[in-house]
Amino acid sequence: MGHQMDHNYQPPLDKLLVLGEVTLREEWLDYEQQGLRAEHIPALVQMATDRKLHRADSQSTEVWAPVHAWRALGQLRAVEAVEPLLEQLHRFEDDDWMHEEVPVIAGMVGQPAIVPLKAFLANHRHSVYPRVAAAHGLVEVAQRYGEHWTECVESLTDQLRLFPQNNPTLNGFLISFLIDLNAGESAAEMEMAFVAEKVDLSIVGDWEDAQIALGLLAQRLTPSDYGVEDEFFTPGQPISSATKKKQKEQAKRKKKMERKSRKRNRRKR
């Protein structure tokens, strides 16, 4: 407990061992103010992937050091961190922090992260949720660096074209991410996956819901038959912006339910 663990991190990295708890969506610290620079990237990668720190006592400050390290790597736009952090998603599959923040870090890195993200996403030997995180990383790059939007959309769409081999959950998230990027040009690939019944409908709904989200359809033509959107459907009525918002919120809740089996707070309550 406390600072009993033996760590060989030299200044200024030793500061990250005592910074302690943060919350998922609060504004990140400025790690340059902690003295961290590009020359510290290798040691930060080591800290971000340090098994002992990840498994430290949940009430200690050290258990938060990997979070501080990977946030610092994001701020330093460290492309060297992308592959090691993606690989950690397997080892710590129950760590929701990694699955939330590794895509953000990839987004901060920007264009140099696209190739490793795409390679990781394409590797069918990886399990579903690490691949979902890689796909999410491509969304983050596209949203932060609009000049690379096309490359990111093409990367996601290339993977969706493999829908027969993909897990239906992966297909659902790929479609969800393409919708987030307003990628109407990928509608044909989405439709093929839906028609083949290779999409987990709990993530974005059915093909009609996807078309509505993309702005290709004004309202449902048929009642939903899988229960996700039934409460919102009124035959013949256009879908209001408030209802669209409800649908999007419900889809987000569904995404979280999909991941509940590996949910774990970093600090046990």
The band of 178, judged by pLDDT with boundaries at 50, 70 and 90, is very high
Query: How far is residue 110's CA from residue 74's CA, in Å, rounded to a whole number?
Result: 10
Tokens of 266: 């970093």
Tokens of 265: 């707070």
Count other C-beta atoms under 10 Å from residue 240's C-beta. Answer: 11
| pLDDT, tens digit (0-9, with 9 covering 90-100), for 116-161 | 999 999 999 999 999 999 999 999 999 999 999 999 999 999 999 9
In contact, 137 and 111? CB cutoff 8 Å: no
Of 102, 92, 109, the C-alpha closest to 50 is 92
The yes-or-no verdict on residue 249 having pLDDT over 80 is no
What pLDDT sits at residue 227?
47
Tokens of 237: 């009525």
The band of 261, judged by pLDDT with boundaries at 50, 70 and 90, is very low
The yes-or-no verdict on residue 256 having pLDDT over 60 is no
In the chain, the percentage of residues whose pLDDT exceeds 90 is 75
Q: Which amino acid type is present at position 253? A: R
The tokens 């993977």 sit on which residue? 159
Domain ranges across the chain: 41-152
Query: How far is residue 210's CA from residue 216's CA, in Å, rounded to a whole number?
Result: 9
Single pTM value for the model: 0.84
In contact, 215 and 181? CB cutoff 8 Å: no
